[in-house]
Amino acid sequence: EPEVTQTPSHQVTQMGQEVILRCVPISNHLYFYWYRQILGQKVEFLVSFYNNEISEKSEIFDDQFSVERPDGSNFTLKIRSTKLEDSAMYFCASIEHRQLSSYEQYFGPGTRLTVT
């Protein structure tokens, strides 16, 4: 069964450093998402991406964040200058465009980001 993959599974970085989290959505999916989950808290929406542009973003997704689809398979989340409060699990998700109305999102296994 096709699945969303994410790399790395765990990233440790120092405050102020840039990090790039990578996702490979399911191959025929066209709509992509990033969510984050601070330890012990709920899952929060960050951004959705379709047709090579951001379609929706939350108040969390400020200028420190950016997303990109650099090629036909990868979808990345960049944090330019990490803060301690960016420490969280980051989930990538994707959906087939034609299923958008019924909306079953497929989530990747997550990348745990630890900022020290």
Partner 1 sequence: AQKVTQAQTEISVVEKEDVTLDCVYETRDTTYYLFWYKQPPSGELVFLIRRNSFDEQNEISGRYSWNFQKSTSSFNFTITASQVVDSAVYFCALKGGETSGSRLTFGEGTQLTVNP
Please, what is the minimum distance in Å from the beta carbon of residue 42 to partner 1? 5
> Toward partner 1, which CB reaches closer, 55 or 116?
55
Please, what is the minimum distance in Å from the beta carbon of residue 48 to partner 1? 6
Side-chain half-sphere of 104: how many Cα atoms within 13 Å?
Answer: 2
User: What are the residues whose beta carbons fall under 8 Å from the beta carbon of 53, sequence distance 6 or more?
Assistant: none
Residues binding partner 1: number (CB under 8 A): 26
42 binds partner 1 (CB under 8 A): yes
Nearest to 35 by CA among 75, 83, 80: 75
Please, what is the minimum distance in Å from the beta carbon of residue 8 to partner 1? 14
3-state secondary structure of 112: strand
